Structure 1
Amino acid sequence: MNEPNDALAALILQAGFSWAGLARRVNDLGADDGFALRYDYTSVHRWVKRGERPRSPVPALVAKVLSEKLGRRIRPSDFGMTEEETLAARGLQYADSPRTTIDTIIDLGRADVNRRSIIKAPFVLAALGAPSRDWLLATLDGTATERGPRQVGMKQVAGIRDMFALFQEMDVMRGGGHARTALVEYMNSYVFPLLKRDHEERVQRALYEAAAEQAYLVGWMAYDDGEHGLAQRYLIQSLRLAQASDTAALGAHVLAGMSDQANLLGHPHEALMLTRAGRRGITENDSPACLADLHILEGRALAALGEARAAAAAVAEAERVFARVDHGNEPVWARFIDVSYLFGEAAHCFRDLGQASQIDRFAGESVEGARKQGRARRGALSHAALAIADLERRNVEGAAAKSLTVLDLAASVNSSRCVETVRDLQRRLKPYAEMDEVQRFNARAGELLGLAA
């Protein structure tokens, strides 16, 4: 049995409704929309005392009734009745207003924290085109202004950025499943209430930028945790807030994340489109780190499409741009676009192209950098590339040994990508299942991650 719905009970009391009166008004509004509803006192009793949730469109009708009576906007999520089918659709929309975007992220966060079915919403390929197009057009049409440097003494913005850095560090070191719920609760309890107030333009844009960074990060965490439909919706909303902040590099960074996800899910054409939209929206001076990332992810998409020459050219261009990066002049979100990351992604380009010597070159540098930083997730992904290079040479013993390292690193973080990487190695090693080294790897995978060979 569900918990009583205290929030709904309080709103009904504030509105001065009896339970029977609320039910009658819901039925009347439903009839106006063509619905034959027969709710009564008992129905509302079940909603309040048993926490039952009526089907659509009833939560929206209840919210409308309460809004009329109270003279302010009440949403279904305010009394724990977010209509998840509607929320799943809203999460894919690139809203006209950043305020609408904020409401959508708040509702996504509430559903996420409560483990509602929105976390199972599907990834929708068709939803990728419009947000990237709208962001790019808005960015190209925007006029440059001289607002002066951001005053880092703005306490709220500085505090939000400090929290972003903390959560970003936790994601990189512990995996996307480690602290996502805590970040969502922080955003909904502190960041978004600030954005619902009016501020002078400089502060408003700074708050939109900080909120966009955090919405991106929670989307990335969901992506790393294997919840792709939810991640896609957070990323689209983050892109809209990035536009509101007038920060082109941040918007391009969000498109890079969307591209990474699309490519992982087997949609390289769309991944390529997203990287190119991002590149068109910024210059090398905006953020060399972001531009290098877009080039390397373009290479990933091209490699998945089998375009070896173009992929290699994209990797080379990423290296060229990355040579200009000074992380002291980059935003905090670009901190981990470094050698460990960039060369690790390059290694995966050449993994997809079956070029073992290039895998060795890039993955070797990535592994070394990740080891020095203590980045287990990145180390696992890059060690896996080295294992695959060994398999390309028919060095099964070496591949199995490196796969054991991948496994140990993957077990130390909360990342579905790492788990999928171990599964991929199991599939690749399956033809050699009788070898002692492979059997040790499979036994260990079962012990640490519960993965059957």
Structure 2
Amino acid sequence: MDRRGFLITSTSALAAIAAQWATAPQALSATTGRRVGHQVADLFDQRLDALRHLDDHVGSWQAYDAATAELRLITSTLKDASYTGQVGHRLYGCAAEASRLAGWCAYDDGHHAAAERHFVTSLRASASAGDTTLGASTLAFWANVRYSSGDPQGALDLIDGALASSGRITSQRVLAMLYARQARAHSKAGESAAAYRAIDTALNAYGHAGPPDEDLAAMYWITAGELHQVAASAALSLGEPRRALAHFDLAVHGHDPYNAAKEARGTAIYLARHAEAYLALDELDAAVETAERALDLMGGVDSARGTSALDELRSGLLHHKDVPVVQSFLVMTA
């Protein structure tokens, strides 16, 4: 049974899992079955890229079904076909990305146990592919699940496991994501100095990144604006709403801004946090106006994370239910 919000991996096991991933052997070639070449891996890469963008637009549960179907097809190819070692590494990389995407979609829909199972599969596949960068990306996404579920130390163990192999991580965007996740974990643990140091390191790593089309296709969403959104979320968790507002402003109006048009769900979640910052400062008109924008964006996109963010914001607004502008919003969202 996969209960929603239920984690299956103990905190103490996470560091060991990350360490085992870093030393796992790579896959060899396969010599029996129908021969497949790089063109098959190319097709899987194209389909996975389309799935990532579909997740942005249609929501997690529909994309989850597609990702698990893609994983079955890739797994079948690995089992039944023959291929060179180089092609095999690419196919295992596709399997790792399909499982990583399935894990993220499961988490976004609130099924944390399923997410963790998919992340374990993704790590094993990335090790077989000999792709440290891909495995580090999976660890970063898994860390998000852990700190969001009340286990910041487990998240930090996963990040530490990824960063132990930082010399073999070829993407500065992946490194920036790892440090951003580290910052969020520290903020959830109430460790402000460590959180802000990690934000600075994330921004510095991103400053060394090349053009997006020369990076991993899966990292299309990492921008300076995204990192400022994370910094704002960390400041909010640390009880610094004014600092959060400054980062929210930089995320939208600064260099390389967050692209709200690419992902309605992510924008809605960040807007809900933006509204929380206004609420913490008793700026109720701004809080409600921002909350209404978040509500509009969530329409038609399936996301347990988005719904949870809006529910938390609504709970905060209930403390001001006698204020007319707040009362109108609460009635509208009852």
Contact 2:192 2:238 in 1 (8 A): yes
Contact 1:123 1:232 in 2 (8 A): yes
Q: State how far apart, in whole Å, the 2-side matches of 1:433 and 1:319 are.
A: 39
Q: State how far apart, in whole Å, the 2-side matches of 1:121 and 1:441 are.
A: 28
Equivalent runs, 1:274-293 vs 2, <5 Å: 274-283=158-167, 286-293=170-177
Gaps of 5+ in 2: 27-36
Contact 2:268 2:306 in 1 (8 A): yes
Equivalent runs, 1:230-269 vs 2, <5 Å: 230-269=114-153
Q: Which residue of 1 aligns with 2:44?
A: 160
Contact 1:120 1:229 in 2 (8 A): yes
- The equivalent position to 1:405 in structure 2, one of 293, 297, 302, is 293
- The equivalent position to 2:113 in structure 1, one of 214, 220, 229, is 229
Contact 1:138 1:243 in 2 (8 A): yes
Q: State how far apart, in whole Å, the 2-side matches of 1:129 and 1:284 are.
A: 19
Equivalent runs, 1:341-420 vs 2, <5 Å: 341-367=226-252, 369-370=257-258, 372-420=260-308
Q: State the Cα deviation string for residues 185-204 of structure 1 (Å, max 9, x = none).
A: 2332x211111033211111
Q: Which residue of 2 aligns with 1:123?
A: 7
Contact 1:239 1:254 in 2 (8 A): yes
Q: Which moved more, 1:353-362 or 1:261-270?
A: 353-362
Equivalent runs, 1:166-205 vs 2, <5 Å: 166-188=50-72, 190-196=73-79, 197-205=81-89
Task: Determine which structure has more spread, i.e. the larger CA radius of gyration.
Answer: 1
Aligned residues: 317
Give the counterpart letter for 2:239 in structure 1.
G
Q: State the Cα deviation string for residues 353-395 of structure 1 (Å, max 9, x = none).
A: 1222321232234356455534211211221222122122211
Larger RCO: Structure 1 or Structure 2 (Cα < 8 Å, ≥ 6 residues apart)?
Answer: 2
Q: State how far apart, in whole Å, the 2-side matches of 1:121 and 1:348 are.
A: 21
Gaps of 5+ in 1: 1-116, 143-152, 447-453
Give the counterpart letter for 2:229 in structure 1.
G
Give 4+ residue runs of structure 1 displaced > 3 Å after superposition.
117-122, 365-372
Alpha-carbon distance, 1:295 to partner: 0.5
Please tell me the root mean square deviation across aligned C-alpha atoms, in Å.
2.0
Alpha-carbon distance, 1:282 to partner: 2.1
Q: State how far apart, in whole Å, the 1-side matches of 2:5 and 2:274 are.
A: 34
Q: Which residue of 1 aligns with 2:204?
A: 320
Alpha-carbon distance, 1:121 to partner: 9.1
Quickly say closer, same or farther: Cα 1:419–1:212, change in 2 above 3 A: same
Q: State how far apart, in whole Å, the 2-side matches of 1:138 and 1:185 are.
A: 26
Q: Which residue of 2 aligns with 1:87?
A: none
Instruction: Tell me the TM-score normalized by structure 2.
Output: 0.89
Identical amino acids, percent of aligned pairs: 25
